[in-house]
Amino acid sequence: MTEVRVKASNSYPILIDGDLLKVSGNLIRKEAGGESACIVCGDEVAKLYATKVGESLKSAGYDTHLFVYPHGERSKTPEMYVRLLNYMAENGITRSDILVALGGGVTGDLAGFAAATYMRGIRYVQIPTTLLAMVDSSVGGKTAVDLPSGKNLAGAFWQPEMVLCDHSTLETLPREVFIDGCAEVVKYGILKDPEILSLVLEPERNIERIIEKCVTIKRDIVQEDERDNGKRALLNLGHTAAHSIEKLSQYSVPHGKAVAIGLAIIARAAEANGDCDKDTADFIIKILSKLSLPTTSMYRPAEIADAIAHDKKRSGDSISLIIPRALGDCEIRRLSLKEAREYLIRGV
């Protein structure tokens, strides 16, 4: 088992192993205590893993409750969040109890936001079951639901008590969803640690090492800038164009595929603008292609570049672009929307 510890407003362990679900109850009891445990999960994950986690929690002495919602981003809404709060209230969940987010990033964000706000904040544990959630969304305390006008517009920073990454759960993940998560893994490799770019070419074989390396990078950034006022923007590498593509497609392009295209666009743009050399840009695109991730988009350059004006990371009329200078070396550059548009358009 591998352990990475986060020391932010709450100090907590991330445990990574291939057999954690069946001992999850005892691990949660030891780290977080509490009386009742309320598991939150989507219907697909509920069928696969809710019984195993529920039994483990019961054998560790918890009274258990299970809130199941229809899987998918369409459930990450204020309505589902209120339904979850009502479920907790009707089942007598109090501040001494624990919420357990069992699933992908949608579950983590929804349950995390409910934990952040129910009775002004209760403790919660993340048990991520997608690669994206293991390497990114379960760590760092960003929680949110979507509003009709945009993704993640209502949320809170609220750190979990622990993160349990049982990577055996990835065996049931559809191949397509697993590969989408690899786009975020590639992001970490470009940001800080090029060795990840070799490991990701055999993702199943290297899974524990990949998760450890990615969460260590995220941990270091979150510890420096928990509230996303500076360095945490680095985690947005490739995401400016990705957010445009997601929005233009009305979220029919999955996040991972949009990030892959966004990484290719920023790599080509950095090359065209003289910030990185051709070999670096070509290498990034080659890795994405080897993973069968897309590197070009169906939208016109001007459409993608114009859509950045709606990015929520924009402030006033400027936006931070994360620019790869070399593998493992990226820069946060504040540009006006007009400059950012011109910069990106050279990469599309």
Binding site for ligand GLY (CB under 6 A): 136, 140, 142, 228, 232, 235
What sections of 147-292 are H helices per DSSP?
175-191, 195-199, 207-224, 239-248, 255-272, 278-290
CB of 156 to ligand GLY, least distance (A): 13
Answer whether 121's CB lies under 8 Å from 115's CB. Answer: yes
Task: Assess 137 for contact with ligand NAD (CB under 6 A).
Answer: yes
d(CA 43, CA 85): 18
Beta pairing, strands 150-157 & 329-336: unpaired
Q: Which two tokens stand for residue 212?
A: 């450890």
If binding is defined by CB under 6 A, does position 48 make contact with ligand NAD? yes
Q: Which amino acid is at 166?
A: D
3-state secondary structure of 347: coil
- Give residues with Cβ within 8 angstroms of 167, minimum separation 6: 16, 17, 18, 134, 207, 208, 211
The answer to the question of residue 68 lying near ligand NAD (CB under 6 A) is no
Should residue 71 be labelled a site residue for ligand NAD when binding is judged by CB under 6 A? Answer: yes
Q: Is 187 in the site for ligand NAD (CB under 6 A)?
A: no
- What track of x and - describes contact with ligand NAD for positions 253 through 292 (by CB under 6 A)? --x-------------------------------------
Task: Return the number of the residue (131 or 235) whose C-beta is nearest ligand GLY.
Answer: 235
169 sits near ligand NAD (criterion: CB under 6 A): yes
- For residue 36, the surrounding DSSP H or E stretch is strand 36-42
Closer residue to ligand NAD in complex, CB, 235/284: 235
Q: Least Å distance between CB 144 and ligand GLY?
A: 11
Enter the tokens of residue 299: 């939208």
* 342 near ligand NAD (CB under 6 A): no
Q: Check if the beta carbon of residue 288 is closer than 8 Å to that of residue 295.
A: yes
CB 43 within 8 A of CB 106: no
Q: Which is nearer to ligand NAD, 30 or 312 (CB)?
A: 312
Q: In terms of CB distance, is 24 or 107 closer to ligand GLY?
A: 107
Task: State which of residues 24, 36, 64, 107 lies at the interface with ligand NAD (CB under 6 A).
Answer: 107
Residue 73 contact, options ligand NAD, ligand GLY, none, Cβ 5-8 Å cut-off depending on partner type: ligand NAD
Residue 24 is a binding residue for ligand NAD (CB under 6 A): no
Contact present, 103 and 135 (Cβ < 8 Å)? no
Positions that interact with ligand NAD (CB under 6 A): 42, 44-45, 48, 71-73, 76, 103-107, 109, 129-130, 132-133, 136-137, 140, 142, 151-152, 169, 172-173, 177, 255
